[in-house]
Each structure stands twice: as C-alpha cells, then as structure tokens.
Structure 1
C-alpha cells in the first residue's frame, strides 16, 4: 500500500529526525508505528545515522503490530525486521540475524540486557512502545534498561497516555529519554520539587499531591523533547455510541451481594489502612457484580447469571461480530460455557481471523489488547462484561475498534449491575477520574448507609 502521510504524521516524523531524544505523546489511532518506522528508514538509509534499532513493545504488539505495519506499506518493505520472541534459543537466533530492526517484548528486557553485559550493547537506537509501561522506577525492566541507555545515541518513547495515573508516572518515562536532565536524576528529587505529601500511614506516604502550578512547570521542562498530538484534533473518527445497559439482580441475588459487600467493606476499618486494601476490596466487589467471586481458597463461587444473560441477548440481537472485554478468569469460563463458539484472543491468528470476519464473538482481557492492536476491520460492537478501574486500559481497549479506518459507528455497551460497585466505576470512567482518591471516595460512599 502506498503511504501518503497526513501533515501531522510528517511533522511527527520530522520531530523524531530532529530530536535524538524524542517523546512522542500521540493519542491512539494517529499512526505512531508507521510514523516511527518511516523515521527509522530515513535514519538508516538516507542520513546513515543508525545501523541497528531495538523496538521494545508489549508482547502482542511485538508479535503482530510492528511486522504487520512493516509489511503493509510499500516504502517500508525493504527494511529487515527480526522478531526476538519465543524461547531463549529462538531469541538468541533472532538477535544473531542480519536485520535493521529487532523487535522484543518488554517482558524480555531484563534478559536482553543480561545478554550484553559482557559485550558491547549493539543497538544505537531504541524505540520504547509503550513508554508508559516503564513508569515504575522500581520495576526490573526499568532498572535494566537504564543501564544501557547511556550507550544509545537515539531513543524514541511512544505513548498516548504518559500520565494516566498522575504526574508521578512521568519521572521514570522521561528519565529513559534524557537520563534525568529535565525532571531530576532521582524520583526523590522530582517529588521534592513538584509535590507535597498527601495521604500517609505514619512515615509511609501513599499519595503525593502536585504543588500548585506543577503541571505547567513539568510540561515546560519536557516540552523541548516531547510532542503531543490529540486524535480529536487530527482525525475524523467514526461516530461513537456509548450505551449503559442496566443489569438487574433479583431480590435474593441483591441481598447476597449486599451481604458479601458488607463483609468486604469491614476490612476498611480506619483511615490509616484504607490505601493498603482499598483496591483489593474494589476488585472483590466488581467480581461479585459480574456474577462470581473467588473464595479464600481460590475456588470460584457463582452467584448470579444476570450479566451473562444480558450478554447473550446482545449477541442474539446483533448481526455484527462482537468484541467482549472480560475482567476475570471466572468471567471468561462462564462466557465460554454459555457461548462455546466464542474465540479467545490468544495470538496473531485470532487477530487475523477477526479482521477477516471469521469470528463472531471475540473474548479479550483489556490488558491484552491495550496497545497497538488494530481490530477495526473485524467489527464495530464492543461489550464491557466487567469494567476496569484503569482509565488507560479502558481508553486503549475501546480504541481497538474506535479508531481511524473504522467504517461504521462504534457501539460500546457497558453491562452495569444496578446497586453495585459497577455504577461508581462507570461514573469514574465517564468523569475521567480513576485516581486513588476517587477509588477511596467510592468505597467510603458504599460504607455510608
């Protein structure tokens, strides 16, 4: 296919060429992959600045998106791409292959760095897709990657959600670009400059509140190496219809939910321990709302079929393929039992079959489709069987169908069990407030008679 870039894509490509350290904060659907591949081609074959490029990506994106985009566009097909995936021996063979671009899953970053501890780092350019997955400075993959970044002449960080959980996420992401030049050499220095302690338990601070004006100062500090683009400003997106489908539990089912809810909320005894167990309590409440819950022994206890029946009704009355997002393994098991022909998204073959129209019901966990997968060719209907508290996962998952290239209006159904925690999560997603403070407020609200 002939690549005719939009003006914003040409500007984004030029930004990479002009900035050896480039943070590409581009929203979903803007074409981050083809923009970056085009810049890589210029750097290798026209400017002769780069020889070997390492692309670090979420596993499914590494398996599918980069090679598919490479094969899709005529101007990129001459690039040699090696997928560093599979067993250790398969990965070593892929690294030994003569290629321009080496694509590896982010879960193998530690392994990769260890391969080259006793020899020279062979990559002069690193592309991190998705940069926000390196937001935790304590994570092994961050600590491994920071060791080799001084040996890299060019780095590109790609993400549409650089601070989905707050400004604190930015330090580690920007550090991998500039090694602390703009936001400070340590997380402690960053916190001291831009934040003040918020919720705490003794000397342990659970939440840091930005000082007044911090956002503007942080944005100014990184503006010379980061470019931000919104899909709303540049794309003609399909019509989107968000549909909340109330799911009513019977009186006995609702009483059972209320009893279990009360028992779970008893775990939150006072302000000091709220931050430690709030997420676990919310997870349990959302499990119950979906229809099943894990017992203390790890067994699945089924409580109701209300959501399952609502899902079956949607599928029966929809002539289009349906993409269903589930939350827990017991959700997946219940859906597959009720819809044996449903396909679980496990790999590239499932993606290809879906886009070819061969799959009527595709089941996926939002975390498994969050980045880079293009599913818009296979359908235009989404059902959220269970909600996620993560705004980033929610937006990324919806963008698998609601993106440029989608030819039909996208319908997003949300199954909401009335009177349950589902309602508060839905409200938080609509308000785009899924912070820890909102989570705690939701639980406090449920404790209030």
Structure 2
C-alpha cells in the first residue's frame, strides 16, 4: 500500500529526524508506528545517521504490530527486521540475525542488556509506550540506563505520558535525555517541583505539585517534545460516555460497609498506608463487582447486580456487538457462566483468531482484559460499544482500551462507553479519579502540543 502521510504525520516524521532525542506524544489512532518507521527508514538509508535500530514494545505490539506495519507500506518494504520474542534460544537467534531493525518486548530488556551476552551496539532505540518506563526502580529502567550513554538517538512514543500524575515524567525523560531537563536524580525532581502530600511521621506516601510546577515542567521538556491529539487531526466519531447504575440490597450494602469499616479498624497503627489502601481498594472493587476472594483464594459470591445489568445491556443491544472489559478473574468466570446459561454467544479476545472473528463481526459479545488489550490491538471494525463491567484505577489502561474502538478506521458515527457502576461503592471514586487524572494528562498534552503552522 502506498503511504501518503497527513500533514501532521509529515511534521512528526521530520521532528524525529531533526531531534536525536524526542518524546512523541501521539494520541491513539494517529499512526505513530508508521510515522516512526518512515523516520527510521530515512535515518538509515537517506542520511545514514543510524545503522542498527532497537524497538522496545509491549509483547503483543512487538510480536504483531510493528511487523504488520513494515509489511503494510510500500516505502518500508526494503527494511529488514527481526522480532526477538519467545524462548531464550528464539530471542538469541532473532538478535543475531542480520537486520536493520530489531524488535523486542519490554519484559526482556533486562535480559538483553544483562544476561544475553550479546553486544548492545544499537545506535537508535525506539521505546513504544514510553510510559512503561515510568518506574525508576524497575529492572527494565535500570538496565536500559546502563547502556543509555551509548545510544545516539532515542525516541519515546506514548499517548499517556503522565497517566498517574507528573511524577511519572522523571523516569520517562531520564530515558530520553539522561536527566538533562528534569534532573539526574529523582530526589532533585521531587524537591524542585513537589511538596509532600500524604505523610505518616517522616514517611511520605505521595507528593503534590508546587504552585506553577506543571508549567515549569512542561517548559523544561518542550524543546524535545511534541504532542498531538487525534481530535485535532482526524475526523473522529463522537465519544459518548454513560453510567449504568446498579444498587445493592440493604444486606449487600451492609456487608460492603462492614468490610470497609473492619479493614480500617484492624490496622495496627490506625493509619492507612499506600500498601494497605491498595489492598482495601482491591477488596472493595471486588465486592462492587459481585464477588471476592477469601484468604484461601476461593471466590465468594456477594451479589449479581452487575451480571443482571450486563444481561440487560446485551439484550438492549439486540445483536449489536459489545466489547466487555473485566478486571478480576472471578469477573470473567461469572460473566462466562451467566452468558453460557443464557445461551448468549461470546468469546474471550486473547488470540489472533478471536480478534479476527471480532473484526469480521462474528462475535456478538467479546470479553477483554485491559492489561492484555491496552496497546496495539485494532478492534474498531468489530463494533463501536464497550461496556466496563469492572473498572481500573489506571488511566493508561482505561484510555488505551477505549482507543481500541475509538480510533481511525471506526466507521460508526459514535463510540459508546458504558460503565456499570455500583451505587455507594468505590466504583464511583474510581470514575472520579480517572477524570481527575485525565485533567493532568490533558494539561500536559496541551502544554506541548505541536503548532503545525510553525
């Protein structure tokens, strides 16, 4: 297929070529893979500025998406590539094969650098989903920083650079510029731009930005960062978000409230730390969804309010395909049992064949987990409605999962996002938190948005 880039794509291609270190914040559906590969091809064979390129990506994206784009576009057919996933023997074979571009999943970055015994002689690295390097204590981040001084060019790609707040940005930009803009050490970044928020004595659980810190951070990174939103450059379908409220019975609500109360009362020091707050959040989320794991790992049913709501939504869809996002394994098991009992055809989207069948309109109800579908899957031809049975705190997974349908190539005029929300539970807080985080995300993207007229 002939590649005819839009104006914004030409701008992004040129930006990557002109900036040895670049953060390219492209919203979902803007074609970041084809943009990057076109720039890589020019750097390899027009300007001869690089000779060996490493792409680091989520597993499914590394395995399927980059190779598919290389095969799709005529101007990329001359590029040779090797996908290093699978067993250690398979990865080594792929990495020793002669190619222009080597593609590896992010889970194997540490293995490549510290254990493979292969030379790290890549002069350009592309990090697809830069946000996966936001944790400066992770093994993948530490391993990559060991070889970072040897790399001449780095491109970081993501649509959600600050999914959990501005603190994420330090590690991401350390990967790109080795700390030139936001500081070489996380302690400097915290002291410069943040103040302690939640504390217990000398222990700080969270930080909040100082007044004016957000804009100061954006200014620091603006010279190596471009940002583009899909709504600015594509004719996107209207995105409609709604809530389907379900209500617990008095006994069910009492059980939920008792769980919250008892958990807090059982804390030894009377304080909720980040760790036990996360544990409580998980328990309450499970209860809101209708079941909970006991200490032995067994599923204890609580209610069927969300299952009833899902059944009503499927019935009202009248055969229209629905993508259903679940979070816990017991959610999946209970959904599958309910659909099986009601003789409603469904499939879990976890293999290439099920994805193909969904896109061909052969699956009326598709079950998907945000962590396995957050990046890289094109599902927009199979339907235009997603139902959130269980919510996630992660704005990144939430946004990316919705973007499987709300993206370029969606033929429907609207994409509907339906949230099944249990009234009076943590579901309501999660939705509010997602919206609050999105304000920070939107502020970052707006602050460094590319001005194509310039």
Q: TM-score, normalised by structure 1?
A: 0.92
**Distance in structure 2 (CA, Å) of the matches to 1:203 and 1:258:** 31
Deviation (angstroms), 1:430: 3.8
Match of 1:21 in 2: 21
| Alignment of 1:249 onto 2:248 | yes
Q: Give the deviation of 1:265 after TM superposition.
A: 4.1
State the distance in 1 between where 2:68 and 2:382 align.
16
Task: Give runs of aligned pairs for residues 151-230 of structure 1, distance below 5 A.
Answer: 151-230=150-229
* Residue 397 of structure 1 pairs with residue 401 of structure 2: yes
Q: Is 1:407 equivalent to 2:411 in the alignment?
A: yes
CA apart distance, 1:349: 3.1
Change (3 A) 1:434 1:324: farther
What is the number of equivalent residue pairs in this alignment?
A: 434
Partner in structure 2 of residue 75 of structure 1: 75
String of CA shifts for 1:411-445, please: whole Å, max 9, x gaps.
Answer: 1111111222212222333444699xxxxxxxxxx
Matched with 2:431 is: 426
The 5 Å alignment of 1:305-316 reads 305-316=304-315
Aligned to 2:47: 47
- What 5-or-longer segments of structure 1 have no aligned partner? 436-449
Query: 2:93 is matched with which residue?
Result: 93
Q: Which whole-Å CA distance do the structure 2 matches of 1:336 and 1:326 have between them? A: 11
After superposition, the C-alpha distances for 1:257-310 in whole angstroms (9 at most, x for unaligned) are 333333234356877434342222111111001111011221110111111122
Change (3 A) 1:82 1:356: farther
Question: Which stretch shows the higher mean deviation, 329-338 or 253-262?
Answer: 253-262
Deviation string 1:390-426 (CA, Å, 9 cap, x unpaired) is 2222111111101121111211111111222212222
- The whole-number CA distance in structure 2 between the counterparts of 1:260 and 1:186 is 41
Partner of 1:297: helix, strand, or coil?
coil
Confirm or deny that 1:106 pairs with 2:106. yes
| 1:433 to 1:224, Cα distance in 2 relative to 1, 3 A | closer
Once the two structures are TM-superposed, the CA of residue 240 in structure 1 deviates from its matched residue by: 1.7
Are 2:325 and 2:389, in contact at CA under 8 Å, matched by a contact in 1? yes
**CA distance 1:255–1:233, change in 2 (3 Å):** same
- Quote how far apart the aligned CAs of 1:239 are: 1.5
Unaligned runs of 5+ in 2: 441-454
Kindly indicate whether the alpha-carbon contact (under 8 Å) linking 1:268 and 1:278 is maintained by their aligned counterparts in 2: no
User: Are 2:241 and 1:231 aligned?
Assistant: no
In 2, distance between residues paired with 1:433 and 1:31? 22
For 2:439 and 2:311, locate their aligned partners in 1 and report how far apart those are by CA, in whole Å.
29
Measured in 1, the distance between the counterparts of 2:373 and 2:92 equals 27
- 2:380 corresponds to which residue? 376
Superposition pairs for residues 346-357 of structure 1, below 5 Å? 346-357=350-361
Distance in 1, Cα, partners of 2:416 & 2:280: 31
Q: Aligned to 1:82, what secondary structure does the other structure show? A: strand
Match of 2:447 in 1: none
Question: Kindly tell me: are residues 248 and 209 of structure 1, through their superposed partners in 2, closer, same or farther at Cα, counting changes over 3 Å?
Answer: closer
| 2:283 matched residue in structure 1 | 284
State the alpha-carbon separation in 1 of the partners of residues 64 and 307 from structure 2.
Answer: 31
1:299 aligns with 2:298: yes
**What's the CA shift for 1:353?**
2.7
RMSD (Å), alpha carbons = 2.0
* Paired residues of 1:345 and 1:364 also in contact (CA < 8 A): yes
Shift of residue 116 of structure 1?
Answer: 5.6
Distance 1:376 1:349 in 2: 16
CA distance in 2, matches of 1:365, 1:376: 16
What residue in structure 2 maps to residue 364 of structure 1? 368
Q: Distance in 2 between matches of 1:384 and 1:427?
A: 15
